[in-house]
Amino acid sequence: MSEKGVGVVIGASALGIGIAAQLLNAGWQVHLLDSSPDLAGKAVAQLRVLRPPLLFLPEYLSQIKLGGLSDLTVCREADWVVEAIADNFELKRRLLHRLELFLGPETMLSTTTRFFTLRSLLVGSSDMLHQRLFATHFSAPPRYHKLVEVAATETTDPNLLERFCVFAEETLGHRVVMVHDSPGFVAMRVFTAHFFDVLHLALESELDIEKVDALTGPLIGRPYGIFQMADRLGLETLVQQARALSSAIPDDPLHNRMYLPSVLETLLTEKHWRGFWPQEGNLVLDLQTGEYRPPQTVTIDPNDPFLVCVQESLFAYLDAIRPQIATTELAVDQAMEWGFGWSKGPFVLEAERRGRLYAAPSPSPQYLTQSHWPIIEQGPLGAFRDLGDGVACFCLHPPDNRLTIPTLEFLLKALERAESEFLALVVTGESRDFTAGFSLVRWWEAISQGDFAQIEDDITVAQAVYLRLAHATIPLVGAIQGFTRGGGAELALHLPTLHLSPETYLGLTQVSAGLLPSFGGISELYARVGDARSVLQLVMGGQVSTSAYEAQRRGFLRPQDTIARNADRLFYEARQRALELTDSPLPVAPLPPPPTDPAPLRAAMAEMHAQGRITPHELRLSGAVIQVLCGGPTDPTSLRERERIACLELCHEPLTHERIRHLIETGQPLRN
């Protein structure tokens, strides 16, 4: 399969355009076909404005071509054809039979059917279709869900199936779980049945939603309680899935549970449904009355009888259906972990509850994380690890990988030790986000007490550590993912080489607090972009990139920085990149450009203020950034010195105080 292939998506449904977007994100050319080109065009128009965006960059849409079902000849040149029309059995069957005439000799063909088996769709088909067709179930939208379940029959060509699995993981960036050819696949069937079962158990036990969500959320390794997750998926969607599953699998062990109790049915049919946890107001649904009320504080016990009942019911269900849906317990666990973000699958939890050993196979090297490697030294909110082959690692700890002065001092110590004992160093984090940066509360407390010396000390320490990282004497690679803002973004900008997850949201956001980057962020950005006006726009915009590719387009990355296709391979690839750099060091970074005339920049910002596009304080902030960029020599030391002075001056500003206080109290920026 070519690295930049051709994909054909038939069906401009929400799932269809999501798959098309993933192919575009991978650099492929895409043909999107529907019953008419106009319908396909309407879907693409929707793709342009969807939020959160499905595309890494909007210009990727230039690689999509629209067509109708009379244009199936384009399938002859395709690497992959995916059928994503509505779940109508006869429509799917007729389309798949038509496609037999248009497939190229190496074309992969999959269906996104959820409630019909491959065997039923293949009745009366040729041997070629029996060998080519397999099922792919993506969670929507595919960009933000790593799971793809793949089902095949005994007649599916195993080489073709293996080719698709490699493509799905290495090109599209998903994680593949092989499942049996059964309605609902694994993740959707299990969660749908589990949700309705817990709903009825809660009603029978007369438990409030607050208590149930507290017991079925982070306490057992799930990002959300079960009712919170239902709100994210949509109750109507879950009801539709339950009805379809009940029709397709009438002998399902939880068949008699997959219906809405009357109180919820009434809310839905009378259009009064606002969710279990309405988005507006601090309210929660009372399951007994159907009324909305303020939530109550609950206490949770890991041994709560209701939680035990829920876990036993789920395990009994899985014990009964597992042979129908997957070959192994591991496949079920992976489907729930990768599909719903559970840190532990149901079989792992059951093994822990019963005190028995769960022997899961070790992941392949490409999917090893830092936790697989031994800790050499533990520090405040960070750990120093030995990755083997002469590579060390410094990793920030959860919950939010918050940076502190002791953490930076330990990072500096780790760098010095790595330079004396190792060949290379990887810097990364252990949670979904690289780092939330420095605590704004710490500086607000210092400002409130008039202790500006503490702020100056923090800036001095951070600048020294960051500059030392930028000039490391061994290869240093940052494995960066998730939200990386403020002082955390400045840290990333100082790492000599970056390897980023596609879902990296990078930005210098200090202006929202009435401050400016002061740890060397302006200096490093100036060295990359080389244009004072562009740096001013990036700093004053304070925007966070919507992907690593957008960060690259904005100028945050350098030529040596790379982006992973699969986020789960990020750490391994960063380690391999560090090893490569031990044999081929990076070239010496070019000198930053000479100072820019500040007058045009100040005039442009003054005009924006006169037009009402920026506030008085933002005009003040822009002046501070211009002074840093244009107020003297542009060597790293001089730029950082001006950053420090400008930030300290802003810390005395009442309007900055208003921004910081508002941000801390509300979590929202204030424009004053």
Query: In CATH, what number is assigned to the domain containing residue 345?
Result: 1.10.1040.50
Using the structure block, give the residue that is written with the tokens 């995916």. Answer: 82
Nearest Cα residue to 581 out of 562, 565, 568: 562
Query: Around Cβ 3, how many Cβ atoms within 10 Å?
Result: 9
In a domain, 31, yes or no: yes
Low-confidence ranges of the chain (pLDDT < 50): 2
User: 224 and 106, same structural domain?
Assistant: no
- Would you say 546 and 554 are in contact if contact means Cβ atoms under 8 Å apart? no
CA distance 564 to 568: 9
Q: What is the structure's pLDDT at 592?
A: 83
Q: What are phi and psi of 470, to 5 degrees?
A: -65, -25
Q: Which residue spans within 410-496 are E strands per DSSP?
A: 424-429, 476-485
In a domain, 10, yes or no: yes
Instruction: Please give the span between the terminal C-alpha atoms of the chain, in angstroms, as a whole number.
Output: 55
| CATH number where 436 lies | 3.90.226.10
User: 157 and 40, same structural domain?
Assistant: yes
Where a domain ends, among 293, 325, 354? 354
User: 441 and 581, same structural domain?
Assistant: yes
User: 166 and 277, same structural domain?
Assistant: no
Q: What is the structure's pLDDT at 363?
A: 83
Peptide bond into 53 cis (omega under 30): no
CA distance 672 to 668: 13
User: 294 and 381, same structural domain?
Assistant: no
Domain count, the chain: 3
In a domain, 387, yes or no: yes
3-class SS of residue 212? helix
In a domain, 537, yes or no: no
User: 45 and 89, same structural domain?
Assistant: yes
Q: What is the structure's pLDDT at 355?
A: 82
Whole-angstrom CA distances from 581 to 424, 496, 497, 571, 643 are 8, 11, 10, 15, 32
The parent domain of residue 57 ranges over 6-179
User: 139 and 99, same structural domain?
Assistant: yes
Peptide bond into 399 cis (omega under 30): yes
User: 16 and 162, same structural domain?
Assistant: yes
In a domain, 672, yes or no: no
Beta bridge partners of 64: 30
- Token pair listed for 10: 């038939």
* Rg from Cα positions in the chain: 27
User: 565 and 431, same structural domain?
Assistant: yes
Q: Taking the model in full, what pTM does it have?
A: 0.92
In a domain, 650, yes or no: no
CA distance 306 to 309: 5
Where a domain ends, among 354, 384, 412? 354
User: 556 and 464, same structural domain?
Assistant: yes
In a domain, 651, yes or no: no
User: 207 and 173, same structural domain?
Assistant: no
Nearest Cα residue to 315 out of 228, 193, 447: 193
User: 215 and 148, same structural domain?
Assistant: no
Where a domain ends, among 179, 198, 223? 179
The burial class, CB within 10 Å (0-12 / 13-18 / 19+), for 168 is buried
Q: What is the structure's pLDDT at 3?
A: 65
CA distance 497 to 361: 32
In a domain, 131, yes or no: yes
